[in-house]
Amino acid sequence: MSESTLLLGGAGFIGSHLAGRLLDDGHPVVILDSLVRTGAESTLRRLRAEYGDMLELVIGDVRDRTALRRAISRAARIVHLAARVGTSGSLVDPRLDFEVNLRATVDLVEELRRGGRPVPLLYCSTSKVYGALRGLQLAELTTRYHPVNEWIAEHGIDEHWPLEVTSPYGCSRAAADQYVLEYARSFGLPAAVARIGCVYGPDQHGGEDQGWISHWVARALERRPITIDGDGKQVRDLLHVDDLVDALVRLLGDMDGLRGHAFNVGGGPEHAVSLRELLELTSQVIGEPITAVHAEWREGDARYYVANPSKLEAMTGWRPLIRLGEGLGQMASRLLATRPTAPTAFGTTGAVSG
């Protein structure tokens, strides 16, 4: 398949949505994935049924350099989504995080450097590279933490904020992030980095450590209690997967012009919410009260992270469009649709702000 887009880890939540968008736009897609994620096989069956030979699947591991070399040999552009995600697992097996997240990424950029063919690479990093943002002064309000610095409160955290690691996971992702940028600078690799925060949307298979928004909604629909680490006043900006995919497509459209740049990709202050506020909004969306229990603070968990996506907007014209209430209602309806009896779709509300 010529002129294809290679998605490393493309059978996951974000990758499958990106694949669908690219295929809808008429671009052939190759997915290299080990299929270890929950729901990966059913997702690929759905994509193959819908798009047929436009989609090619290579079952393999990004740590296998031979499989990696074969996959990139015919690619016109690459999106690197493959990663071992979540902080908790990295504390149990930090070497696996190093192998999957860092070594495989270095192998990838080295293969591209030695290949002599300037294949554009978009590396999907994470907002976790900023760690706990310990240097950020916060005021404690009734339902949320609020930055003392009003510019940050209005705009969010931009790409100039120093990287800080608070777990083996964060260390492996931050190092991979920096390797991609350095290969762009030192060797002219047409590569850019997207630092992605909290993403949610239909068909997300989440847990407490990753994809936690879908985990929350699923537990709420099952009338099971939701566990909140800490006091629940920590703030995150939430981004619908369709908005994220639009951002990634825009980045792919000008990789030469965006070479060597890192971008914070998130909903920004307009889509920011504390966990307490999100609990209330989720209850409004599903029309049911939700029980919450509190656990100890998670080590290295930031009290506040809201992306400043203004650089991405300035260089690509991208802005997030889907409001949080709308997106949560869509997610809840999709989750219920997979049950034996599916009630009517939920209504929508606006995003909570404070």
227 CB-near residues (< 8 Å, 6+ apart): 208, 292, 293, 294, 295
Identity at 195, one-letter amino acid code: R
Active site residues: 169
Evaluate whether 145 touches 303 at the Cβ level (below 8 Å): yes
Backbone angles phi, psi at 132, to 5 degrees: -90, 0
Count the Cβ atoms, other than its own, within 10 Å of residue 114: 10
**CA 86, CA 22: separation in Å to the nearest integer?**
27
Number of domains in the chain: 1
Q: What is the DSSP letter of 53?
A: G
In a domain? residue 275: yes
In a domain? residue 117: yes
Bridge partners of residue 79, in order along the sequence: 7, 122
**CA 196, CA 175: separation in Å to the nearest integer?**
15
In a domain? residue 345: no
Question: Is residue 57 classed exposed, middle or buried when 0-12, 13-18 and 19+ CB atoms within 10 A define those classes?
Answer: middle
pTM for the model stands at: 0.92
* Structure token digits, residue 9: 């880890």
In a domain? residue 146: yes
Give one DSSP letter per residue of 171-214, joined into a string: HHHHHHHHHHHHHHHHH---EEEEEE-EEE-TT----SSSSHHH
Q: Report how many helices (DSSP H) and strands (DSSP E) the chain contains, helices first.
A: 13, 15
Residues spanned by the domain of 329: 83-337
**CA 352, CA 277: separation in Å to the nearest integer?**
7
In a domain? residue 73: no
Q: What CATH number should be reported for the domain holding residue 278? A: 3.40.50.720
**CA 22, CA 20: separation in Å to the nearest integer?**
6
Q: What is the pLDDT along the chain (354 residues), one digit of tens a residue?
A: 458 999 999 999 999 999 999 999 999 999 999 988 777 888 888 999 999 999 999 999 999 999 999 999 989 999 999 999 888 888 899 999 999 999 999 999 999 999 988 999 999 999 999 999 999 999 999 999 999 999 999 999 999 999 998 889 999 999 999 999 999 999 999 999 999 999 999 888 766 556 788 888 888 888 889 889 999 999 999 999 999 999 999 999 999 999 999 999 999 999 999 999 999 998 888 888 888 999 999 888 899 999 999 999 999 999 999 998 899 888 888 877 765 444 444 443 333 222
In a domain? residue 22: no
In a domain? residue 347: no
In a domain? residue 55: no
Count the Cβ atoms, other than its own, within 10 Å of residue 287: 10
